[in-house]
């Protein structure tokens, strides 16, 4: 990208407030992303904006920074941001919080389903300047007359194509009707269908259309697929879990029910896993995301409620266990990895009947989706052997003699998995070596793959 084309070399060139700049650099941002270069100047000038840029390209800061720069210190509710999921409301709220701690006079509030009403009522009485909300809960407050959108000057709709789609459009229209004065509207999304694009015309006034990489893919995500008979799906998943090197993983499934089932199965297998779906109570939902962020949970088994907008560092693998509903759902699901400049991997599970979907996304992604081999018996053994060896190395790294002994011994075990006697001795030894780290479950696993 040639930033100079827009006379922007770094964040200093936007003419933003000095305090704001300091915080941007403190957060660790060095240069603005392309969407920020294009969006921030237009936003600062008060233009209506339609911004389409790939997942993980920094759309949030594209609206948060100009909003904070332009906001007035008074008692008016000036800015409204709406977005489809509660998790996204919280995420955007927390991003604002990084700045608001320094701009102490600006008041910001989040409104979303499942949050305690009394807290929201009290906070609304406190006259927030910025509200971030899910449409349902916001409408609820409008109807209760606990919020008035009379003075809104900026409306941001994040995940705009989803918000203008069937599920939300009715609510969004009512919300917009409640904004009386002429205001600036900015829409953000990674995807946009032609049908939705047409609707955007009705809610904006001569917008600046910033459409980047319209049909291009997020090259930071390496995409794979494999065909599996549905009977072997769980078994195959287990094999990938052993052989894939993931820090944090999201497995997308179709139903809420199955998300719970699969997650508890994974927990039984010893994985730090949790389900996330729309039926889980809000406190728990928040705790799950928090634990996933801080590493207490490594695998999230989620429905599409987690497919949009979530920005969680170190999610380096996405498994589409069940087929996404459509191409956009696929794009947003895999977009939970490969964010900012990080690299991610996505694996799509397909059944023979899903060939059509594969052809569709392959067309969209210029045939960049490659076949991945399902790990076979030998691959798994190699992984186990090396894993055990690594552990032993860690425990006995000071004594090479012991290490060499274990190495040749382990080679014998791995090559003789049929021999019951050797397995029994192995189990005793492994328990001795690992103490609590080696459970009977792992032993059974070792047997299973004979
Ligand atoms: P999008 O909404 O486009 O999917 P986000 O706004 O969630 O993407 O940003 C994705 C990640 O990139 C976030 O972790 C964010 O902090 C980071 N990011 C955004 N802008 C920059 C920047 N200029 N430099 C470095 N990292 C950035
Ligand atoms: Mg986003």
Half-sphere exposure of 387 (CA within 13 A, CB side): 17
Q: Which residues of 357-390 are buried (b: 16+ CB within 10 A; e: fewer)?
A: bbeebeebbeeebeebeebeeeebbebbbeebee
Pocket of ligand 1 (CB under 6 A): 29, 32-33, 36, 53, 55-61, 311, 339-340
Whether the domain at 3-211 and the domain at 221-371 fall into the same CATH topology: yes
| Mean pLDDT for the stretch of residues 333-339 | 97
Residue nearest to atom 24 of ligand 1 (CA): 29
pLDDT value at position 450? Answer: 36
**Cα 385 from chain centroid (whole Å):** 33
CA nearest ligand 1 atom 10, residue? 56
Q: What percent of the chain has pLDDT over 90?
A: 75
Closest ligand by atom to 314 CA? 1
Which residue has a Cα nearest atom 5 of ligand 1?
A: 58
Q: How far is the CA of 53 from the centre of ligand 2 (A)?
A: 9
The model's confidence at residue 429, banded by pLDDT at 50, 70 and 90, is: low
Whether CATH 3.40.50.300 fits 3-211: yes
pLDDT digits (tens, 9 = 90+) for 8-62: 889 999 999 999 999 999 999 999 999 999 999 999 999 999 999 999 999 999 9
pLDDT tens figures, 90-116: 999 999 999 987 788 999 999 999 999
Pure H helices in 193-326:
194-203, 233-243, 256-268, 282-294
pLDDT tens for 190-244 read 999 899 999 999 999 999 999 996 656 788 999 999 999 999 999 999 999 999 9
pLDDT tens per residue across span 258-311: 999 999 999 999 899 999 999 999 999 999 999 999 999 999 999 999 999 999
Give the pLDDT band (50/70/90) at residue 441.
very low
Phi, psi of 437 (to 5 degrees): -75, -15
Tokens 């006079």 belong to which residue? 105
Distance, in Å, from the CA atom of 427 to the CA atom of 233, rounded to the nearest integer, reads: 29
Q: Give the per-residue pLDDT at 181.
A: 87
Specify the CATH architecture of the domain 221-371: 3-Layer(aba) Sandwich (3.40)
Across 13-52, b (16+ Cβ under 10 Å) vs e yields bbebeeebbebbeeeebeebbbbbbbbbbbbbeebbbbbb
| Domain edges within the chain | 3-211, 221-371, 377-448
The pLDDT value given to residue 180: 83
Cβ neighbour number for residue 406 with a 10 Å cutoff: 19
Query: What is the spatial distance between Cα 353 and Cα 228, in angstroms, rounded to a whole number?
Result: 10
């Amino acid at each position: 990208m040639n930033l100079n084309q827009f006379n922007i070399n770094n964040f200093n060139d936007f003419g933003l407030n000095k305090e704001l700049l300091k915080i941007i650099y403190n957060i660790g941002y060095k240069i603005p992303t392309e969407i920020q270069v294009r969006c921030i100047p237009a936003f600062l000038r008060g233009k209506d904006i339609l911004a389409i840029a790939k997942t993980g390209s920094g759309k949030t800061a594209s609206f948060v920074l100009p909003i904070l720069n332009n906001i007035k210190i008074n008692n008016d509710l000036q800015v409204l941001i709406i977005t489809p999921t509660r998790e996204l409301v919280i995420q955007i709220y927390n991003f604002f919080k990084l700045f608001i701690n320094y701009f102490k006079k600006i008041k910001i509030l989040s409104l979303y389903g499942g949050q305690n009403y009394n807290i929201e009522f009290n906070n609304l009485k406190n006259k927030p300047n910025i509200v971030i909300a899910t449409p349902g809960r916001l409408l609820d407050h409008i109807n209760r007359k606990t919020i008035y959108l009379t003075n809104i000057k900026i409306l941001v709709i994040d995940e705009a194509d989803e918000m203008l789609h069937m599920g939300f459009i009715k609510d969004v229209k009512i919300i917009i009707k409640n904004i009386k004065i002429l205001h600036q509207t900015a829409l953000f999304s990674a995807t946009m269908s032609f049908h939705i694009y047409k609707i955007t015309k009705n809610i904006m006034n001569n917008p600046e259309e910033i459409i980047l990489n319209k049909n291009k893919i997020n090259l930071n995500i390496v995409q794979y697929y494999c065909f599996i008979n549905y009977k072997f799906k769980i078994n195959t998943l287990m094999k990938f879990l052993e052989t894939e090197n993931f820090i944090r993983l999201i497995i997308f499934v179709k139903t809420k029910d199955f998300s719970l089932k699969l997650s508890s199965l994974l927990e039984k297998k010893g994985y730090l896993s949790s389900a996330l779906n729309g039926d889980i109570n809000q406190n728990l939902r928040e705790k799950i995301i928090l634990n996933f962020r801080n590493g207490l949970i490594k695998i999230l088994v989620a429905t599409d409620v987690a497919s949009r907008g979530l920005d969680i560092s170190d999610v380096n693998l996405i498994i589409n266990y069940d087929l996404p509903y459509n191409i956009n759902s696929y794009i947003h699901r895999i977009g939970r990895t490969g964010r900012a400049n990080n690299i991610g991997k996505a694996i799509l599970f397909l059944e023979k009947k899903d060939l059509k979907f594969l052809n569709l996304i392959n067309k969209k992604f210029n045939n960049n989706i490659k076949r991945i081999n399902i790990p076979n018996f030998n691959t798994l053994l190699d992984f186990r052997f090396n894993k055990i060896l690594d552990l032993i190395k860690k425990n006995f790294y000071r004594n090479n003699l012991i290490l060499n002994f274990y190495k040749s011994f382990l080679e014998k075990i791995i090559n003789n998995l049929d021999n019951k006697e050797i397995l029994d001795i192995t189990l005793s030894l492994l328990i001795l070596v690992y103490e609590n780290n080696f459970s009977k479950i792992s032993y059974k696993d070792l047997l299973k793959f004979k």
